[in-house]
Amino acid sequence: MFENIKNNIDFFIRNKTKFSRKNFVEKNEEKLLHNYLENLYTFDILEQCLKSSNAENAFILDIGSKNWYYAKGEYYFFKSFIKKPHMDGVELDAYRLYSNLYSRYETAKFYIKDLKNTNYIAGDFLSINKNYDYIVWFLPFVTKKPLRHWGLPDRYFMPKKLLAHAYKILNPNGQMLIVNQSINEAIIQKQLLEELNIKYTEKGIVKSNFLEYKNDRYAFIVNK
Ligand SMILES: C[S@@+](CC[C@H](N)C(=O)[O-])C[C@H]1O[C@@H](n2cnc3c(N)ncnc32)[C@H](O)[C@@H]1O
């Protein structure tokens, strides 16, 4: 209970003040190298899971983008077969501050700065009503514990409602990729998909040689 009260207060304050230092630039070579690998990892996982299609334009949504550290990997994967990708990333807690006093929002601006038609949206995914051809959803909260740990108020814990909304705004013939960490979260994700009668393909554990994570990651693909 105490954690939820604290999260409510902190979340309220950062969304009111939107405090951040401005114009973040990453200069640390080690972090830039890690970012490079994370982008290659992202490209690789998307390539293993999603089918390409030769489109002139396509609208892509990344849900829960954090600081959109991996945006380049996503962008260049879609750019490899779509002439003009339009990419949105939506993040509820965009004004969360890092210890360097830059917010996720300011940090994301740096990671997407060279990507055409790419927007970072600070807000709740539920308020997005545009339709998308591709939805990418890395590590949704399917249990309350990580949501609290990440500083969000309990009222934002609604995995089923979010999944139903994601399916609703996915265009016919669209594809959605959901990646969960650990078998426990994958089991819950599967239950949610089944409760909502959403047809999916279970890809199982997905891995890339570019980066390794402590917890196994499991992918689900939804073709509408
Ligand atoms: C576990 S993190 C994953 C972050 C990122 N996708 C990654 O793979 O590093 C989940 C993210 O989803 C965001 N989130 C949770 N509920 C959301 C909502 N309703 N709308 C937008 N973002 C949300 C959280 O604030 C958090 O940044």
Q: What is the pLDDT of residues 147-197, one digit of tens each?
A: 999 999 999 999 999 999 999 999 999 999 999 999 999 999 999 999 999
| pLDDT, position 206 | 98
Q: How far is the centre of ligand 1, averaged over its atoms, from the C-alpha of 91 (Å)?
A: 6
Residue with tokens 């979010």: 162
Helix axes 183-195, 159-169, angle to 10 degrees: 60
pLDDT at 122 > cutoff 90: yes
Q: What is the DSSP string of 139-172?
A: S---SHHHHHHTT--GGG--HHHHHHHHHHHEEE
Please check the confidence at residue 1 and state whether its pLDDT lies above 90: no
Domains contained in the chain, number:
1
- What confidence score (pLDDT) does residue 55 get? 87
pLDDT interval class at 102 (50, 70, 90): very high
**Least confident interval from 40-44, 50-54, 99-103, 189-193:** 50-54
Domain extent at residue 171? 2-223
Q: Which atom of ligand 1 is nearest to the CA of 62?
A: 6
Residue minimizing CA distance to atom 9 of ligand 1: 66
